[in-house]
């Protein structure tokens, strides 16, 4: 597993590739994630808060479409969905690659789904 260079910076809305372990921890698979944490946190912390991305396009609750045109810069390999109910923290050192950055409008849509997920009923 390749690690990023020391001092690499990541920003909110970046789409990056990370190794995600299987539930039995026997191995891992490389998966894209979107950086949720703000830029100040990202500069000061060795970790990032991220949300999972999948190429399975099934319309599921708390997910947002991520088509090619949702990228502000760079390119996503396949049309995908942001899985807003899959949020986790990870160390920057494990990031394999940066694909680019998603548009503000798409990020706002994902944040709206996250707020809907955690809203008190």
pLDDT band, residue 1 (cuts 50/70/90): very low
Q: Where are the beta strands (DSSP E) in 22-62?
A: 28-35, 47-54
Say how many C-beta atoms besides its own lie within 10 A of residue 71's C-beta: 18
Task: Give the span between the Cα atoms of 106 and 8, in whole angstroms.
Answer: 24
Give the start-to-end residue ranges of the domains of the chain.
14-118
- pLDDT of 78 > 50? The answer is yes
In the prediction, which pLDDT does 2 show? 38
For the chain, percent of residues with pLDDT exceeding 70: 94
- Phi–psi pair at 15, nearest 5 degrees: -105, 120
The class of domain 14-118 in CATH terms is mainly beta
pLDDT at 5: 47
Q: Which of 68, 110, 58 is nearest to 85 (CA)?
A: 110
pLDDT tier for residue 7 given thresholds of 50, 70 and 90: low
Residue 26 pLDDT? 86
């Amino acid at each position: 597993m390749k690690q990023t260079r020391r001092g690499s910076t990541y920003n909110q809305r970046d789409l990056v590739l990370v190794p995600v372990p299987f539930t039995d921890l026997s191995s891992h698979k490389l998966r894209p994630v979107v950086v949720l944490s703000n830029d100040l946190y990202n500069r000061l912390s060795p970790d990032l808060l991220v949300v999972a991305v999948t190429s399975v396009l099934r319309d599921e609750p708390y997910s947002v479409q991520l088509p090619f045109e949702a990228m502000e810069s760079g390119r996503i390999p396949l049309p995908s969905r942001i899985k807003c109910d899959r949020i986790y923290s990870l160390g920057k050192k494990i990031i394999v690659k940066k694909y680019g950055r998603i548009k503000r409008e798409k990020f706002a849509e994902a944040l709206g789904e996250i707020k809907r997920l955690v809203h008190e009923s």
